[in-house]
Structure 1
Amino acid sequence: MGDTKNIVLFAAISIAVFFGYNALFISPQQEALQREAVQQQAAAQLEDGLAPKEAAPADMDGPDSNAVAQSSEDNSDIGHVKIVTPELSGSLSLRGARFDDLLLVNHKVSMEDDAADVRLLRKAGSADAYYARFGWAASRQENGFVPGPRSAWTADSDILTPDQPVTLAWDNGDGVRFLMKVEVDEKFMFTVSQTVINSTDETLQVAPYGMISRRGEPKTDGLYILHEGAIGVFNGTLTEKTYSNLEDDGKFEATGSTGGWMGITDKYWMATLIPDQQAELSRARMMKNNGGYRVDYVENWQPLAAGDTLESTSRFYAGAKIVSTIDDYADTYNITLFDRAIDWGWFDFLTRPIFTGLHWLFNVTGNYGVAILAMTVILKLILFPLANKSYRSMSHMKDAQPKIKALQERYKDDKQRLQQEMMALYKKEKINPMAGCLPMIPQIFIFFALYKTLYVTIEMRHQPFFGWITDLSARDTLTPVNLFGLIPWDPPAMIAIGVLPILMGITMWLQQKLNPQTSMDPTQQKVMSFLPIIFTFIMAGFSSGLVLYWTWNNLLSIAQQSFIMKREHARREALGKA
């Protein structure tokens, strides 16, 4: 089989893998949905002091089982603590002790000069509210015994910085005092240390909890290649639920997990609850909730004797999904599978090394585009033995074309005999008809690993190359359709083919011309002639970095193929075999 047919095979495999691999390898559901029987047993469990099932946290959208059913004025603004770090800006509301205002100061919504900072968290009560809260559940069920979503806290400082923690306080007026010390580091991790002081003459049962609430449903890319929505690790297993999953199923619930983490993830950002990694959780949930979505956890009941104090420490990650930052936190705090917050996919054995290599080359060159070019050269060198074998076989195939055509003409009415003679010729001329496929198999995996890396990692976001390519993670928008922007018209994406995809199509066409020409029927010939055009349109919607890789890879392949084939042809001529 000539390499021309192998290109058809490669094209078919590439398209099939791109559009099908996520559908075929979607992460299976690791946990079964919890049955209604769990809820039905909750009252009995509370009475027996087994687990705080119904004494769970609540948000502004529903009643809190331990909070006063307060009037509307109890939701008024009573002040906030300002948050200032090298990465974050915002505030912590004293109403309910909510993290509900957070900007990522080093990340912009676009590449415009006046672009606003990315906003992660939003005020409770707004149409797109997005906030986190920590607190306590208690076995005593009277209203106002523990702080709720509208409780008014006090603070010992009006600013929170990496050098200045803040301690919040709330007293229930019935002998129990609650303290919450909040610390933040230089990046995106908050540490929340909660304390309960029992000044009553009775033993209490309490349980710390954390929750994240998000109103509405954010706009997502909707691609299987990237998970957006609820995510968590329970009992050492990663669980991912899209917004549509929670819409259809209602909720996911895990019980008896130790440590772990849970949150809501976007493409580049996330808000994540991280309980004490040694604490046993009574329950953790991801759910659709009153016009929005929510994740929460509650630990097991803990006894608090009269006159005693109980402490609990949790963490809250709110920020950009920077690979090195998340890896550092996973190691520092021993957070199980925290690195999976970045969706490396099923090909992570290849995706992560490619990212590591690209990032190292970026640190050396200072440009991710140059890093992609250098990485392509390195990959070419690694695959050189396969390519060398393939191109040598193709050279033999090209030199043997007159003999092949003669056999096809002689045995055109005897297909079986033709096949036998062709196999004999291949053996004599040292032609491996499958050799052309060998380099393509690893190239397919490399292509998708690079695609995944460019698509999901924030390190590639808004990274320029040279000239008109200002964002390697976005498609090339410079198109001849509007005379490269001279005509004030924004053409539809379907026809707005960028310069880089056009160059890729040209290099693909040039590479075709080097391949041995075999006899094909008219349909095959038409398919082959249109392949560069088809791939030009397909690749037009891909990130510039990926098209840059393919174009550069084609150019290197052309140079490598030309050199090897010329050298092999000269060698065979010297031996009198050409």
Structure 2
Amino acid sequence: MPPQNNSRNTIIFIVIASIMLLAYSFFVMEPQTQKRREAQQAAAEQASAPVTAPSPSAAVFTEDRTVALGANGARVPIETATLKGSLTLTGGRIDDLFLTNYRETIDADSPAVELFRPEGMEHAFFAQFGWSGPNIPGGVPGPNTPWRLTEGATLTPTTPVVLTWDNGAGLRFTRRISIDELYMFTVTDTVANFSAQPVTLTPAATVMRQGVPPTLGRNQVLHEGAIGTFGDGESYSTTQLKYGGWGKKKAPEEHESTGGWLGITDKYWMAALIPDQDERIEAEFRVSGPGEPADKVHLAGMLGEAHTIQPNTQITETRRLFAGAKRAEILTGYQDSLDLPRFIYAIDWGFLWFLTRPIFIVVEFFYGILGNFGLAILALTLTVRLIMFPLANKSYESMSKMRNLQPKMEEIKKKHPDEPQKQQQELMALYQKEKINPLAGCLPLLLQIPVFYAVYKMLFVTIEMRHQPFFGWIQDLSAPDPTTIWNLFGLIPWDPSSAPLIGGLLGGTFALSVLAIFYGLTMWLQMSMSPQAPDPMQRRIFQLMPIVFTFIMATFPAGLLIYWAWSNILTIFQQYIIMHRLKAANPIDDFFARMKKAKA
């Protein structure tokens, strides 16, 4: 490829990448400035049966959790080392749950993360188990069934609870609920038939969210919404429906599967229904109700295999509910112990999962040695650089030789000022004589782009990175650097994002932080060591690139800036050694020469 075309294509690539990153920063990463200003006008809905269409309920919500909990009937407390909450005896619904190991913010007094929320509050979120069957005398347990607590007082890992309900027509339902030390509920339902006629029942379960909080489903890089893994017992695939697209079709999305799992996931948390892995199920993802899409009821439900219960006999059905944090080793543990297909893919590893997961494993390995995820990211960067070292070495040698050839290249241009084709021919001859490949300098950069994205994805979606400190003011590697030039990096007690009209920009795209500025300086120095573009306009564009990317990268997680700045430093070090050895002019040697001359 002729050098002019190569330079032009490189500039086009960088400009397009810059435009994409700026658009992403402005439209995705910016804080949402529009908040819904009115309460939900449409009715939220509750299920009349676990997998049937919800029916409207009151649209006036309470902000007092105690009031909502009391309105849902008598309760059974839930207490484990990782969970705290309660379940209601009205409907046997698990609807009040906090993750005690996780806080909303990094503040020490921040409240625990809420997972489930009772009906009656805005954006209620809960799980329910039951049965369905046509023409059952006395009915089956539903959302308003008054269960009785017949065994146990508090649900803990060592004390399960037992609920019972008699439908008055010969059917007795007994529900045993247990929980492990982490996030797995086991619901064992026994149905005894004391009537004179056989009955046919189908086990059912749902996870339901009555309206989507405005903070969810806004990021296009991340999946939040419906998720499930379905298959035929041999091959399984994972289905995802983002909140924005979930429900666009009027008909529910249905799947048949042997085993598998399904539920509703947020960035770090998930509620998932898990049948027996040998059972044939019918699963559906449904959105229903009036109003805006975000105000509708979002439901993930499943029906198991129908059971015919003969008189004076009983059947037992076991289902599980995962309700907790999507921590990799926990998901892997359940995947192995329960033989759950692809449960680790509840984490949104992205389309580069084959890079994201190994990078995460490497980071966790270094964390086990170093005890700090920031240091683990530095070690990961060094590992990546070592893997690319041979290729990068050849690339930097080629770039250093290109830099040495620039005077000759300028002579060729002056020699044939009006003959571009002649210039290209002589330049290609010069490259062949010096054994230089003009494209070699771009290859390491192109190879690092997918690694860069995979690191970003890993930092963004894995809960292991959440609220993890580095050193000094960096207390959350998964969040942007909190410092900003607009309040002199914290010296002025003022939040720039609160400024009228421009707060979103000052707190987002233009929030120049210490890490962003340091990253920009490393990028500027690295580009200064590369061969100069022959065209003045091209040189100007390359000179502006560090400034543009400094603003863009300011909105990215601090861990990613640490990775990229450290990678730049390693690149500069490697490139300097090669340039110094080949006696190529470089800004570092020029700086020291000027310093030496000034002292003299």
Scaled by the length of structure 2, the TM-score of the pair is: 0.83
Partner of 1:302: 307
Partner AA of 1:470 in structure 2:
Q
**Structure 1 residues 454 and 152, CA, compared in 2 at 3 Å: closer, same or farther?**
same
Partner of 1:281: 281
Q: Offset of 1:315 from its aligned partner?
A: 0.6
Partner of 2:119: 124
**Structure 1 residues 158 and 250, CA, compared in 2 at 3 Å: closer, same or farther?**
farther
- List per-residue Cα deviations over 1:146-173 (Å, max 9, x = no partner): 1111111112111011111111111111
**Deviation beyond 6 Å, 4+ runs, structure 1:** 2-7
Partner of 1:489: 494
- List per-residue Cα deviations over 1:532-574 (Å, max 9, x = no partner): 100000001000000111111111111000001222338xxxx
Distance 2:556 2:352 in 1: 19
**Structure 1 residues 234 and 19, CA, compared in 2 at 3 Å: closer, same or farther?**
farther
Q: 1:312 aligns with which of 311, 317, 330?
A: 317
Q: 1:220 aligns with which of 216, 223, 235?
A: 216
Matches within 5 A, 1:231-310: 231-235=227-231, 236-289=236-289, 291-310=296-315
**Structure 1 residues 55 and 115, CA, compared in 2 at 3 Å: closer, same or farther?**
closer
Q: 1:441 aligns with which of 446, 450, 453?
A: 446
Q: 2:538 aligns with which of 524, 530, 550?
A: 524
Partner of 1:11: 14
Partner of 2:577: 563
Instruction: Indicate if the aligned counterparts of 2:164 and 2:174 stay in contact, CA closer than 8 A.
Output: yes
Distance 2:419 2:258 in 1: 71
Q: Secondary structure at the match of 1:160?
A: coil
2:139 paired with 1:152: no
Q: Offset of 1:305 from its aligned partner?
A: 0.9
Q: 1:499 aligns with which of 504, 508, 514?
A: 514
Q: CA RMSD in A?
A: 2.3
Note the residue ranges of structure 2 that are not aligned, 5 or more in a row.
25-47, 58-69, 291-295, 497-505, 585-600
Q: Secondary structure at the match of 2:84?
A: strand
**Structure 1 residues 329 and 14, CA, compared in 2 at 3 Å: closer, same or farther?**
farther
Percent sequence identity over aligned pairs: 44
Partner AA of 1:532 in structure 2:
P
Q: Offset of 1:354 from its aligned partner?
A: 0.4
Instruction: Indicate if the aligned counterparts of 1:271 and 1:316 stay in contact, CA closer than 8 A.
Output: yes
Distance 2:251 2:242 in 1: 11
Distance 2:8 2:582 in 1: 22
Partner of 1:551: 565
Partner AA of 1:245 in structure 2:
G
**Structure 1 residues 487 and 62, CA, compared in 2 at 3 Å: closer, same or farther?**
closer
Distance 1:251 1:114 in 2: 45
Q: Secondary structure at the match of 1:61?
A: strand
Q: 2:476 aligns with which of 467, 471, 494?
A: 471
Partner AA of 1:324 in structure 2:
E
Instruction: Indicate if the aligned counterparts of 2:189 and 2:317 stay in contact, CA closer than 8 A.
Output: yes
Note the residue ranges of structure 1 that are not aligned, 5 or more in a row.
22-53, 64-74, 571-578
Instruction: Indicate if the aligned counterparts of 1:477 and 1:497 stay in contact, CA closer than 8 A.
Output: no
Distance 1:76 1:9 in 2: 62
Distance 2:162 2:56 in 1: 27
Instruction: Indicate if the aligned counterparts of 1:260 and 1:336 stay in contact, CA closer than 8 A.
Output: yes
Matches within 5 A, 1:387-466: 387-466=392-471
Distance 1:554 1:255 in 2: 48
Distance 2:438 2:262 in 1: 52
Distance 2:289 2:187 in 1: 25
Q: Offset of 1:14 from its aligned partner?
A: 4.4
**Structure 1 residues 230 and 251, CA, compared in 2 at 3 Å: closer, same or farther?**
farther
Partner of 1:510: 525
Q: Offset of 1:254 from its aligned partner?
A: 1.9
**Structure 1 residues 129 and 527, CA, compared in 2 at 3 Å: closer, same or farther?**
same
Distance 1:392 1:243 in 2: 50
- List per-residue Cα deviations over 1:12-49 (Å, max 9, x = no partner): 4644776899xxxxxxxxxxxxxxxxxxxxxxxxxxxx
Instruction: Indicate if the aligned counterparts of 2:95 and 2:125 stay in contact, CA closer than 8 A.
Output: yes
Q: Secondary structure at the match of 1:111?
A: coil
- List per-residue Cα deviations over 1:62-102 (Å, max 9, x = no partner): 59xxxxxxxxxxx9544211111110001111110000000
Distance 1:359 1:344 in 2: 15
Partner AA of 1:495 in structure 2:
F
Q: Secondary structure at the match of 2:252?
A: strand
Distance 2:128 2:274 in 1: 12
Distance 1:20 1:526 in 2: 22
Q: Offset of 1:255 from its aligned partner?
A: 4.3
Partner of 1:230: 226
**Structure 1 residues 61 and 11, CA, compared in 2 at 3 Å: closer, same or farther?**
same
